[in-house]
Chain A
Amino acid sequence: MQGASELRRFGALHYVIDLVAVGFTRELGPLLTAIAVSGRSGSAFAAEIGTMKVTEELDSLRVMALEPVEFILAPKYLAALISVPCLSIASNVCGIFAGGLFMFFSTHLAPLQYLHYVLASIQLRDVITGLIKSVAFATIIAHVGCLEGFRVRGGPDSVGRSTTNAVVKSTFLVIVADAVFTAIFYLTVKN
């Protein structure tokens, strides 16, 4: 909407469709999803593993000759690898749908026509870039969350600290990774 108010001044309101479609598939969809997952699941990973550490469940896995990294991190990582790209796609769809609503109410653009413009402006490359990003974000979130959980020492207060660290670090790293990917993508397109 903020972009649209600027574009309206130049009579370029129809560019909102390009902005929404490309912006969401390439950038905002994966990024917003990763930040939400980082807050929801990264913290949960750290809290769950940290609690397991405090209650000697990790020790009990080791003495059962089971490797905690294989047993705990691997399933969470695989789940994140599947769920984060899926959620990113859902986020893209929701964002584009919201753009359609905005265009309908602001310019009375027919939904089918909006969809036609969206499909014309999105390239497969944009979608793939977004999905590659979301896979990288999933890797960051799962590993930072689990690592913070494994690093818990002492009692329940340490679990709280690790949970906070997991959210702060994974959100920061997701934003840094997003900037790196965007830079790479920008340079690739330029050349």
Chain B
Amino acid sequence: MYQQQDSPEAIQGRLPLLAAFIILAIVILFIRLWYLQVVKGAYYQEQAESNRIRPVKLRPPRGVIYDRSGRPLVENELVFDISLIPEDAPDLDTTIERLSAIVKIAPDAIRKALEDESNVRTSYDPVKIREEAPWGEVAVVEAHQDDLPGAIIEPEHLRYYPYGELASHQFGYIGKVSQSQRRKEQSDIGMLTGQGGLEKIYDKLLRGVAGRRLIQVNAAGRKVKDLGIEEPRPGTDIYLTIDLDAQKAAEEGLGVRAGAVVAMDPNTGEILALASHPSYDPNLFPRGISPQDWVKLMNDPRHPMYNRAIQSVYPPGSTFKVIVALAGLDSGVIKLDDKVRCKGFLTSGKHSFRCWKKGGHGAVSLHQALVESCDVYFYTMGERIGWDRVAEYARKLGYGSLTGILLPDEKPGLIPTTEWKKKRTGEAWYPGETYINSIGQGFVLVSPIQSCQMMSAIANGGHFYQPMLLKRTRNRETGEVAVFSPERKNQITLDPGALQEVRSALVGVVNEPGGTAHSAATPLATVAGKTGTAQVIAQKIAGRKLEGKQQDHAWFVAYAPAENPKIAVAVVVEHGGHGGSVAAPIAKKVIEEYLKNVGPKTVR
């Protein structure tokens, strides 16, 4: 393979050349080293001693977060902090005393602040004494620089959330970097990074690059002159897919109640609104949240930090009937003219299963059963289709698995199968379980975002998009814009006739007499939707009024305009009561606000 006969001598003859080159170069380096260290050693020694250049970190403003039409949702506010570099104060006590008089903080409190920082800071790191100092104090410190060696003014861009709790579960919050993060990322002390939500996910984009100002100080630590400034590079601005008006409508709709709203563009997967209540105010964090506030947030029994839109899973209640209807029609088990007689209950063995309408619906077709949300019809059809087949359709429509939204800790929920139950409990699946699961009770658990995705797929004919939060980014320095395009994850095929029938029934829910969601109707567009009232306790107890924690979860899932869907919404209100009266009006507001902005085109 190799030409081993060829003697290496020719090459080896040239090797002394390489050796000579190396020797010569090293000798040159040595001479240079000698020159710097011996000949000019004293000169550089002096330079080193007078090298009292203090690099003062200039922290960059984080990228601004805008909504889809460019309205700022998260901004920065320029504030001034008064800090102290103890190494620069020849007489630290004097500086502390004088500073204390200006900022009105006890000298001991200042000493304590220095001490607290002493094991985390490196030399010449400024220690913050007074954050967000009022103008008066800043001016005094600046004017009396000579009498305050070691004291400096640090401009900071304080993260500011103008809408407070609005969409806070998307933004997350920012905080001081933890020790371990600082080691890992080599970020400097006092640097604030995203700690949850988008602030964390896009931290690298938003963060920017710190600049510095070099100041020369004399031996007494006083500033002699400014040597120059290396401007910080601001973080990249990001534009979310969120529509501020739709988001506001969602937040206002939920109000003080616990629950969640997710709205999506069914044609792209862009999240138009995502709200979870109760919420928290991210403005508590940028300065470091106080221990009391933190404990309050953590111990709140209503879990305000919890992002219900993606982390909470609920029984879907009657909204699940959409799946059963689709499963029945698509698989051919349900014929359009099949009717079921509802007399208000259905008996199976010893058990009796009620319909929500005491007197019964009479003979109902699929259309009527969806419009009026007849339970008995879906008990019957669930049994005819067979639970495992229903479960298969539920999975096809995205239930039981993550939507893949980038926000942290999404939960997949649960679509049970007969096999799952056998494995889990060792017991067989009872026919009665098919009944109750077919109306979205029992084991079935879904998240609001999954339901929103499900409605999107029905609206767009079976396409599943990666839920998008980021629409585009813009580099503030270069003006460079990166636009993110929708990503289709997969597509399912459904019988077009079946899809059409279900869609028409969903329009009926909102618009036909007897429909359960008239409160979602809007003059702006035809809304298609389905209500759900998910029982919190296992069986309905006849004749008893349920209150508080026992009250049902109210659901409404929808899309609009029915002819040309532009928005899909899922709303859940915990213990809210009836879906049609509680959840549907919230969805209606969200739809109206969004369509007002994009122009509904198909005004009725």
A binds B: no
Which residues of chain A have a CB within 8 Å of any CB of chain B? none
Which residues in B have some Cβ–Cβ distance to A below 8 Å?
A: none
